[in-house]
Amino acid sequence: MSESKFLGKQVEYPQHYAPEMLVAVPRELNRKEYNIDGSDLPFTGVDVWHAYELSFLTNKGLPVTGVLKLIYPCNNPVIVESKSLKLYLNSFNMEQYGDTPEEGIAVVSKIIKKDLSDLLKTEVKIKIFTKQQDIQLFDYNEYPLLEELPGAAEMEFDTFKESPGVLQVEKQGSFELRTATHLLRSNCKVTFQPDWGSAFIYMKGERKPDESSLLKYLVSFRNENHFHEEVCEMIYKRLWDIFQPVELAVTCVYTRRGGIDITPVRVSHEYLLPESLTNIDILSEKLLRQ
């Protein structure tokens, strides 16, 4: 399996620029299992990545560091495996680009954009941030937490494998729901190491979910072994099938691991895409554990 080329293995870090470290993983492997037709997706969306350990040298040996933000659409055939991206980005550490940091950033940005666009068979947007922005924007301020529901602490949780059967309709009739949880946990598909995250859900329709059952469902991912993008698509597909909403948006914001965080976004309509998160020129406010 291509995704296991580096995952769970001791790998020597490359000392020079190494685009051959990048590994692509087909999206269809998990989509088939959950009846998601890649040629007729029930969603649109993007994968947003932040890499916090990007660094290289100028031609004079001055280190340049920054945060790399990259965005690519969810309708391309593959994802980039995260450890391979980490190894690839680390291959820039001792390479020299440009006489000034600005010149070097321009050169490195062009290289990374081309390498990832070629690998992923789609246009990848990238930007390197070297300074903290004065105003940090966040798209999900009005999303109450499911774990803060009255009585949540008294609920019984005993299902820790993805279980759509726990989802229940609260009532019929027009509704609009914004909700979130910071209790999302799944595990790496290959190494089984835990991945911690938050889920933000917007739904509009005629079949309102019981929020207690929604919390139980999201907690049921605790022993699931999937990549972040797959978890987001599984949540979306279950909610889409069971509640048949008019509008649906699911965003999973995962905690960084290995200096990288991944935030997949899946929506029924493009106008539901979070404005700040999906804007390549904005470095959104980070969550507590991000």
252 is catalytic: no
Does position 8 have pLDDT exceeding 60, yes or no? no
Per-residue exposure over 135-147, b if at least 16 CB sit within 10 Å of its own CB, e if not: eeeebbeebeebe
Residues sharing a CB contact under 8 Å with residue 249, sequence separation 6 or more, in sequence order: 200, 201, 202, 203, 265, 266, 267, 268, 272, 273, 274
Please report which confidence band the pLDDT of residue 4 belongs to, taking 50, 70 and 90 as the band edges. very low
**If residue 223 lies in a helix (H) or strand (E), which one and from where to where?**
none
Structural domains in the chain plus CATH codes: 2-129 (3.30.1130.10), 146-272 (3.30.1130.10)
Catalytic residue among 195, 232, 252, 261: 195
188 is catalytic: yes
The pLDDT tens digits for 127-181 are 999 988 777 789 999 999 999 999 999 999 999 999 999 999 998 899 999 999 9
The pLDDT tens digits for 241-267 are 999 999 999 999 999 988 999 999 999
Please report which confidence band the pLDDT of residue 27 belongs to, taking 50, 70 and 90 as the band edges. very high
Please report which confidence band the pLDDT of residue 9 belongs to, taking 50, 70 and 90 as the band edges. very low
Catalytic residue among 188, 232, 252, 261: 188
This prediction's pTM: 0.93
